[in-house]
Amino acid sequence: MEGLKYIHSIGVFHRDLKPENLLYSDGKLKIADFGLSKDFGRGTMPHTNYVSTRWYRSPEVMFRSNKYDEQVDIFALGCIMAEMFTGEPLFPGSSEADQLIRMSKLLGNPPSTWYEGNVMA
């Protein structure tokens, strides 16, 4: 969490957080593989609408939005933490459609008042 807080504080978001990109060494957990990271500090949008490993994608990325922020990393972190506690991935979808179904079953359907979500769907 501290590493994520740091990279966000300098205006960078990772966009592909997953267990495979977290490395433990010398008593520290380190964030690795910044191949999909992006500088959001300058407010540059739109972003690429296809990023991150499916099981850790936030709803807005699942809907292929190109307007998102560092919260996609926070969502991925929550998925990783749930997996650490349960020993199982939180949303192990076999496809994008299956992924969205699994997310809706656990989180509920997006509210009808979420205009951007309705436009993306």
Catalytic residues: 16
Q: What is the CA angle 52-84-110, rounded to 5?
A: 55
Q: Which amino acid is at 34?
A: F
